[in-house]
Every structure is written in structure tokens, then in C-alpha cells.
């Protein structure tokens, strides 16, 4: 039996299993990641987070991300807040630098306990999204059923943002996977549907690449605010309301996007990795 401790954390309901590989080698197969992410046979998560020793000087930890389908993800804003909070507790101070495949993400703890993260620059060129053909990413030539004319933004990962009159009218389980795998997105894409409530407030629902419907998507909220500002529908700072709560997003003058929101530790436990080849089982767990 290979018993490994884990944390279950979430940011506004976007949930994670966190494994610490800084002191032991943890190399899970795609099948093991899928089993661990299964909410019936494993622990269940939107993303699996593996903490590794940092590569870049000045970083506190390397955060590797995998989706519930076993594929690797480049960035996750909600996971970044959770891991930043954990590292700040380890360091006993209010600052942390999280290294990801998408770059270094500096974070700070605010007085109300929320975590603010510099998610890096919003990349807007068609090749940065990426898409299959050169285009103006302010109006991408993608349409399906009742939605069309998305804005393309890459904030560590690729996003296509559709503005709609009523997000609750969108049949997300049907249209989400079709758009994620649309031929215009050769590496697939995260799909956001956004309803503007005011120049400083918008409602977003998301279909995440490799994870499906989630209650929140931090990088998606960042992409949403940037897309709205580019379209002249909002200012450069606002509230993005997701199914799990609210994030504050600001598109800074230097082109970076700052995300602020809460984080939570749900419980700690131990999982038998050997059992993930079949039906996974808890060894122990406590809140």
C-alpha cells in the first residue's frame, strides 16, 4: 500500500486535491489521476495540484496542475490562491511566489484574509490564444447555436468569452464541450458565458477545458473582465460573479491581471495510490 497524505481545498467551490511532492517522488499515471478525480471511486476534484520544488530563483514552490480528465493544465487562479495561502502559512508571512508552467505568480494576503494574485499579462494576439487562423481576437469567427462572436484572451490558459443576455439560458452541458473542442481551438479552450449586470459587475458561467462545468474559474474570471473591458462593456476593474461566489478582477495598466478572492481548506486525508488502479479508497480523513 502506498499511503499518501493530501489536502482537499477549494476556491469558491472550484475544488482541488493537493499532493506534496517536494520531499517524495509522486508520479501518477493518467489513469491514476482520473481515478483520484472521480467523485465516486476517488476523492474527486476539478484539478489535482502537485507541489514541487521550485525551478526559478525567488519562487517558493512549483505548482503543477492536472484536470479531472488527467490532462495537464497551465494555470488556475483559484488553485493559486489556495496554494499561496498554504505557503504563506508555512513561511509565516503574507507573501508568496507560486511558479507554474505559465510563469511566476506573486501573491499577497490581504487584511480580510483574502488572497490577491498577479496572474500575469493578458495575452491578446491570435497566436497566443491559440486559434487555427489569424484573426482579430476581439471578434473571433466562432458560432454555435445561440452564441457567436467571442473574445479571445489568454491568461495563463486559453479562453473564449461569449457575451449573452442571460447566462442561465445557456445549455452549458451541451454547448460547452462542443465549443471546447471546436476546430478553431487546436489546443481546446476554456469557454465562458457572460452576462453584463453593470459596468462594474458581470455574471459568468464556465465550461473548463478538461474539467467540464465548475463553480468557479479564476483565470476565466480574469479573461472575462479583460474581454468586457476590451468591448467597452466595463471598466478595468470589476466584480465577476460565478456560481460559487464573487471574485474581484483588475486589468492593471501594465497589462497584468490582478485577481482577489477567498480560499478554503475543506479537510486533510490519506489516499492509497495503489488502489487507484482499481476502485480508490480512503485510508483516513478528517475535517
Active site residues: 76, 217
The answer to whether 287 and 266 are in contact (CB under 8 A) is yes
Name the grid cell of 13.
467551490
Chain-centroid distance, C-alpha 186? 19
The answer to whether 61 and 98 are in contact (CB under 8 A) is yes
How many whole angstroms separate alpha carbon 222 and alpha carbon 191? 13
Cβ-based burial of 208 (10 A; exposed 0-12, middle 13-18, buried ≥19): buried
H or E segment to which residue 91 belongs: helix 77-91
The answer to whether 161 and 185 are in contact (CB under 8 A) is no
Cβ-based burial of 12 (10 A; exposed 0-12, middle 13-18, buried ≥19): buried
DSSP 194-239: EEEEETTEEEEEEEETTTEEES--HHHHHHHHHHHHHTTSS-SEEE
How many whole angstroms separate alpha carbon 114 and alpha carbon 96? 14
Q: How far is CA 171 from CA 168, 174, 175, 227, in A?
A: 8, 6, 6, 22
How many whole angstroms separate alpha carbon 120 and alpha carbon 9? 23
Amino acid at each position: 500500500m502506498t499511503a499518501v497524505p493530501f489536502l482537499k481545498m477549494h476556491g469558491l467551490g472550484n475544488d482541488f486535491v493537493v499532493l506534496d511532492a517536494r520531499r517524495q517522488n509522486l508520479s501518477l499515471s493518467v489513469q491514476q489521476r482520473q481515478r483520484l478525480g472521480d467523485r465516486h471511486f476517488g476523492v474527486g476534484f476539478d484539478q489535482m495540484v502537485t507541489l514541487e520544488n521550485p525551478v526559478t530563483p525567488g519562487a517558493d514552490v512549483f505548482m503543477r496542475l492536472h484536470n479531472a480528465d488527467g490532462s495537464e493544465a497551465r494555470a488556475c487562479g483559484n488553485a493559486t490562491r489556495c496554494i499561496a495561502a498554504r505557503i504563506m502559512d508555512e513561511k509565516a508571512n503574507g507573501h508568496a511566489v507560486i511558479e507554474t508552467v505559465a510563469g511566476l505568480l506573486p501573491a499577497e494576503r490581504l487584511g480580510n484574509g483574502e488572497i490577491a494574485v498577479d496572474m500575469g499579462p493578458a495575452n491578446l494576439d491570435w497566436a497566443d490564444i491559440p486559434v487555427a487562423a489569424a484573426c482579430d481576437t476581439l471578434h473571433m469567427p466562432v458560432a454555435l447555436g445561440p452564441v457567436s462572436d467571442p473574445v479571445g484572451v489568454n491568461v495563463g490558459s486559453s479562453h473564449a468569452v461569449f457575451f449573452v443576455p442571460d447566462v442561465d439560458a445557456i445549455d452549458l452541458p451541451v454547448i460547452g464541450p462542443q465549443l471546447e473542442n471546436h476546430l478553431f481551438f487546436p489546443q481546446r479552450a476554456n469557454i465562458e458565458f457572460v452576462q453584463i449586470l453593470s459596468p462594474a459587475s458581470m455574471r459568468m458561467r464556465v465550461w473548463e477545458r478538461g474539467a467540464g462545468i465548475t463553480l468557479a474559474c479564476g483565470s476565466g474570471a480574469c479573461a472575462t473582465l479583460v474581454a468586457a473591458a476590451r468591448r467597452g462593456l466595463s471598466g478595468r476593474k470589476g466584480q465577476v460573479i460565478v456560481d460559487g461566489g464573487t471574485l474581484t478582477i483588475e486589468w492593471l495598466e501594465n497589462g497584468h491581471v490582478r485577481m482577489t478572492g477567498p480560499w478554503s481548506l475543506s479537510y486533510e486525508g490519506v489516499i492509497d495510490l495503489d488502489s487507484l488502479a482499481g476502485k480508490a479508497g480512503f485510508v483516513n480523513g478528517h475535517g
